[in-house]
Amino acid sequence: DTEVTQTPKHLVMGMTNKKSLKCEQHMGHRAMYWYKQKAKKPPELMFVYSYEKLSINESVPSRFSPECPNSSLLNLHLHALQPEDSALYLCASSEPGRTHYGYTFGSGTRLTVV
């Protein structure tokens, strides 16, 4: 079982819909991440939160809006997406000073925009 839980596992949404992806971790990690992965490509970083504050935004379009309500939760709000935004969205967490454990990833949300 993964220690980072993402919901939903699959999501189909229209271009005018508003939806949210959710991520939860119970490891006490103080950094959380959103990655986007297209088919047969590596994950690409979207956002980094550290101590519940946004520290990195990789020039992501504003139709993606991250939110960190508390140290265990990370949301990604979606609005007016395009079909090219269809991808696997991965959440991850990590704890500084324990880098030998690497990052812990969730199983992802497979998003299809129609």
Partner 1 sequence: SQQGEEDPQALSIQEGENATMNCSYKTSINNLQWYRQNSGRGLVHLILIRSNEREKHSGRLRVTLDTSKKSSSLLITASRAADTASYFCATGGTSYGKLTFGQGTILTVHP
Which one, of 64, 52, 57, 51, lies nearest residue 109 by Cα?
64
90 scored as a contact of partner 1 (CB under 8 A): yes
Return d(Cα 36, Cα 7) in angstroms, integer. Answer: 15
Which one, of 67, 108, 83, 97, lies nearest residue 13 by Cα?
83
Shortest separation between residue 51's beta carbon and partner 1, angstroms: 8
Only one residue has tokens 């297209």, namely 38
Of residues 17, 20, 50, 86, which one binds partner 1 by CB under 8 A? 50
Of residues 11, 89, 94, 111, which one binds partner 1 by CB under 8 A? 94
Using the contact rule CB under 8 A, the part of the chain among 10-18, 39-47, 67-75, 77-85 near partner 1 is 39-47
Of residues 4, 74, 76, 81, which one binds partner 1 by CB under 8 A? 4
Return d(Cα 85, Cα 19) in angstroms, integer. Answer: 13
26 scored as a contact of partner 1 (CB under 8 A): no
32 burial type by CB count under 10 A (0-12 exposed, 13-18 middle, 19+ buried):
buried
Residues binding partner 1 (CB under 8 A) = 2, 4, 30-31, 33, 37, 39, 41-45, 48, 50, 55-56, 88, 90, 92, 94, 96, 99-108, 110
